């Protein structure tokens, strides 16, 4: 299939499943080599990161804790700047090594907000792992310790990422055609 139509938008193939899985293995290897003095806590940002998290976490053979948190910031193709974080999953993070698992860092507002909230829980470290990042859209510099791919400022779907809840199931990543 060379294009895909969702509502009024046409999408074209962008990053295929093989590239994604190769890159995910590299990230898993990097994590395996990092020295954690305590089992890390992975905070998976729902919903977009669920596929990436499932694939990445199953490549790790050290003990870790996995929690899911929901942050809502997008409506359609626009980042709204409004956030809601369900914080009941943020208990007992004192002195823990936290790795946030994100699908994509766009403006960086979401990740910055999450880091702010986490910092109040007195963790030992906070690291970010994101499948994708759009550096040209970042509002301020963002340190991403484990990054899958840098992409231009274009809207993408697939591999967990949606357009109005559609496209999450697609095994490859697709980008919107201008
Ligand atoms: P930020 O706060 O960094 O601007 O936005 C982060 C969130 O916006 C991501 O977790 C994701 O849910 C959504 N987002 C940003 N860019 C895209 C994109 O290209 N495609 C999709 N499907 N979601 C995106």
- Taking the model in full, what pTM does it have? 0.93
Residues 6+ apart with CB under 8 A from 157: 6, 11, 163, 166, 167, 168, 170, 173, 174, 175, 176
Write out the E strands in the chain.
4-6, 9-15, 41-46, 65-70, 74-75, 78-79, 97-105, 125-133, 146-150, 156-157, 173-176
- Is 106 known to be catalytic? yes
Determine which residue's CA is closest to atom 15 belonging to ligand 1: 106
Q: Which of 38, 137, 105 is nearest to 115 (CA)?
A: 105
> What confidence tens digit (pLDDT) does each residue in 44-66 have?
999 999 999 999 999 999 999 99
Residue-range domain boundaries for the chain: 4-176
Nearest CA to ligand 1 atom 13: 74
CA of 174 to the centre of ligand 1 (A): 14
Q: Tell me the pLDDT band of 89, cut-offs 50, 70 and 90.
A: confident
Are 160 and 148 in contact, with CB atoms under 8 Å apart?
Answer: no
What fold is seen in the domain 4-176? Rossmann fold (3.40.50)
* CA-49 nearest atom, ligand 1: 10
Task: Inform me whether the pLDDT recorded for 113 exceeds 70.
Answer: yes
Residue of 37, 55, 106, 153 marked catalytic = 106
Residue 71: per-residue pLDDT:
79
Please give the number of the atom of ligand 1 that sits closest to the Cα of 79.
Answer: 4
**Closest-CA residue to 45 (of 103, 94, 116):** 103
Report which ligand 1 atom has the smallest distance to the Cα of 161. 22
Confidence of residue 3 (pLDDT cuts 50, 70, 90): very high
Confidence band (pLDDT; 50, 70, 90) for 178?
confident
- The neighbouring-strand residues paired with 6 are 9
């Amino acid at each position: 299939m060379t294009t895909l139509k969702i509502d009024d938008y046409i999408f074209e193939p962008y990053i295929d499943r093989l590239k994604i899985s190769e890159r995910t293995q590299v990230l898993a290897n990097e994590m395996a080599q990092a020295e954690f003095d305590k089992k890390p806590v992975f905070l998976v940002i729902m919903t977009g990161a669920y596929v990436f998290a499932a694939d990445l976490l199953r490549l790790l053979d050290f003990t870790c804790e996995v929690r899911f948190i929901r942050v809502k910031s997008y409506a359609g193709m626009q980042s709204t700047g409004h956030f809601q974080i369900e914080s009941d999953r943020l208990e007992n993070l004192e002195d823990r090594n936290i790795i946030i698992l994100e699908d994509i860092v766009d403006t960086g507002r979401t990740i910055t907000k999450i880091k702010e909230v986490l910092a109040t829980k007195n963790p030992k470290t906070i690291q970010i792992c994101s499948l994708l990042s759009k550096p040209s859209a970042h509002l301020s510099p963002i340190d991403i310790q484990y990054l899958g791919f840098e992409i231009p400022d274009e809207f993408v779907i697939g591999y967990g990422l949606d357009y109005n809840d559609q496209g999450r199931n697609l095994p490859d990543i697709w980008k919107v055609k201008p």
